[in-house]
């Protein structure tokens, strides 16, 4: 099991969290102008990095906030957990 230190609630077991995916994947900037190939890449293509990797996790059984977790995919060590920066509205 992983022990993830929620910035709001403190260290909690992985079972309290829901995995949200790769924190580095970005939605196409202009969805209406994106090609089918760009959408397919966004939805389906993911890397399988070895080593430290940024991930999104939601503290589903706690404060329900999303946090950014840096985790080593080889050792499963949680290197850091931090709050997400607010997304600026346009």
* Banded pLDDT at 89 (limits 50, 70, 90): low
Residue bearing tokens 């404060």: 63
Of 39, 18, 21, nearest to 29 by C-alpha is: 39
User: Does the pLDDT at position 72 exceed 90?
Assistant: yes
Distance between CA atoms of residues 86 and 30, nearest Å: 20
Question: Residue 21, Cβ neighbours under 10 Å: how many?
Answer: 10
What domains sit in the chain, N to C, each tagged with a CATH number?
A: 3-83 (3.30.2270.10)
- Note the pTM of the prediction, 2 decimals: 0.82
Question: Residue 14, Cβ neighbours under 10 Å: how many?
Answer: 14
* Banded pLDDT at 36 (limits 50, 70, 90): very high
User: Does the pLDDT at position 46 exceed 90?
Assistant: no
């Amino acid at each position: 099991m992983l022990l993830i230190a929620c910035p709001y609630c403190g260290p909690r077991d992985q079972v309290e969290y829901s995995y949200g995916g790769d924190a580095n994947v970005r939605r196409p900037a202009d969805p209406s102008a994106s090609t089918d190939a760009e959408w397919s890449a966004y939805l389906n293509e993911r890397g399988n990095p070895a080593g430290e990797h940024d991930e999104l996790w939601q503290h589903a059984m706690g404060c329900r906030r999303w946090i950014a977790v840096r985790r080593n995919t080889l050792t499963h060590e949680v290197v850091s957990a931090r709050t997400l920066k607010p997304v600026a509205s346009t």
